[in-house]
Amino acid sequence: MGSKNHEVVPTPLIGQISGLRGGTGVHKCISNLAKVGLIAKVKNAKYDGYRLTYGGLDYLALNTYRKRKDVYSVGNQIGVGKESDIYVVSDERGVQRVLKIHRLGRISFRTVKANRDYLRNRSSGSWMYMSRLAALKEYSFMKALRANGFPVPEPLAQSRHTLVMSLIDAFPLRQISSVPDPASLYADLIGIILRLAEHGLIHGDFNEFNLLIEEKSQPLADEDSKSPPRVLLTPILIDFPQMVSIDHTNAEMYFDRDVNCIKRFFERRFHFVSDESGPFFSDARGQASRGGRKRLDVEVEASGFSKKMARELEAYMKQVEATSGETASSDGEKDSNEDDCDQASRLVENRSPGCIEQEDGSLGIDSVDRQLAYDASNKLSLTSLEQT
């Protein structure tokens, strides 16, 4: 509550909000929270106070999911993106889901000064606020896309800087070395880009890191045939914080970048080059809203993710992209293709089957006094606070 108006919450205000009587009890609670990293004292502050850490924000989000019965246990970490962490979780019935935690600022803190200067005088410009916007935007777009038949995970819940979605039994396109029919898969992916444009949207980061490939077996029509069933490859689209409206000032640039990322990847990985040129933004733009198609960019804005929120998040994304580019140029580690296309959070990094251990490995969050803490490797874990 205090963090809404204060990045560093004054200690007296913490006492007032908590409703605890006596200064000793308040300071003891503050000390316990600080010991496990849920809050932190700020050095050289103008007044005595504490700030909420990402660990504390994680706990608040997980506690919300616990109350709603969206999440009962937390399993293994299955992915680490530039500014997000991915975990397998489960509900009370043991159904596996995916928890995505946005951590905007992780890259920016490394590139240091430019982004800090950009946010210094903004009343709402904290990394946690930006992370909340990213989670809200991703959930809003995923919900609209799913409702209109797009191949995306099912959005299940959203709280603060996190969201819960269905677990897809698939692998990132970047991990696939060969496919039976590259032309068919290429056509499916270009088709998704065009269909998004028809509904007023451009993904903005459409590449091999943000595409999962799901395998489905299709029995042959001839039941007597001894041939193995045909395998169908279904692309699943993920990661939506960069998504923009087709009316955006730089919409053509984002559209062309999405198309070129797929073209370059297929040529490099599968040695496939399409005989057809394009698609081109002008053609896709002309199809938007034709035939009574729903404009999902308008629908998402009406659902609560406002233009103001979009502008704030976009400004942050541009700042990160600029500073990331500067770092890559100075290190000489990235080529131009990677600068354009490698913007994804790696959703299913090092994924293996059965990565959640419900009976002997996962950690239940079935009591209010269980709190989040970070170990030395910054991995998410749950720990019970001992009563002192």
Catalytic residue list = 205
Tell me how far apart the alpha carbons of residues 205 and 210 are, in angstroms, rounded to a whole number. 7
Sequence-separated (6 or more) residues with CB below 8 Å from residue 88 = 74, 75, 76, 78, 96, 97, 98, 99, 167, 355, 356
**Closest of 165, 256, 173, 164 to residue 211, by C-alpha:** 173
Residue 74 is which amino acid?
V
Tell me how far apart the alpha carbons of residues 77 and 378 are, in angstroms, rounded to a whole number. 11
Q: What backbone torsions phi and psi does residue 281 show, to the nearest 5 degrees? A: -60, -40
Tell me how far apart the alpha carbons of residues 77 and 379 are, in angstroms, rounded to a whole number. 8
Q: Could you give the 3-state DSSP secondary structure of residue 303?
A: helix
Alpha helices in the chain (DSSP H): 11-18, 23-35, 54-68, 106-111, 113-119, 127-147, 182-198, 251-269, 281-287, 296-303, 307-331, 336-341
Residue 364 is which amino acid?
G
Cα distances (angstroms) measured from residue 179 to each of 176, 214, 215:
8, 12, 11
